[in-house]
Amino acid sequence: MSDESQHWSSAALVVDLALGGACVELDRARELRLDTAVVLVVHAPSLWDPLSLRARVAWIRRVGDAKARLGLRFEHVEQGGLYALFQLLGAQSYE
C-alpha cells in the first residue's frame, strides 16, 4: 500500500475485499488520516500482474500499540481495474 503524497509503502494483510472497498491490517500504524489517498496493490495466484486499486481511507481502528485496521473505499477510475477485481473475487469464491 502506498500513499501518493508521501510515497511510503507497507505490506498489509487483506482482511476483507469487495468491489467497493477493503479492510486491511497494517503491522505498523502510520499517521494516516481519514480521506488519505492510497493505492492498494493486490498480488494473487490467479492474476498475471499485480492489481493496483486507488482508494481513500474511510475509517481507522487501532489494534494494540502498533497495528491498525483501515477501511478503504475504492475509487474506480479505470474500468479495467474494476473488471479485474470482479474476476479475482469470482475466482476466489470457487477455490
Q: How far is CA 8 from CA 40, 79, 83, 84, in A?
A: 12, 26, 27, 25
**Structure confidence by residue, pLDDT tens digits, 30-44:** 668 899 999 999 998
17 has which bridge partners?
22
Confidence label for 1 from pLDDT (cuts 50, 70 and 90): low
0.95 exceeded by pTM: no
Amino acid symbol at 66 = A
Domains in the chain: ranges and CATH: 2-93 (2.40.10.220)
pLDDT, one tens digit per residue, over 6-30 is: 677 888 999 999 999 999 999 876 6
Residues 75, 78, 83, CA angle at the centre, nearest 5°? 95
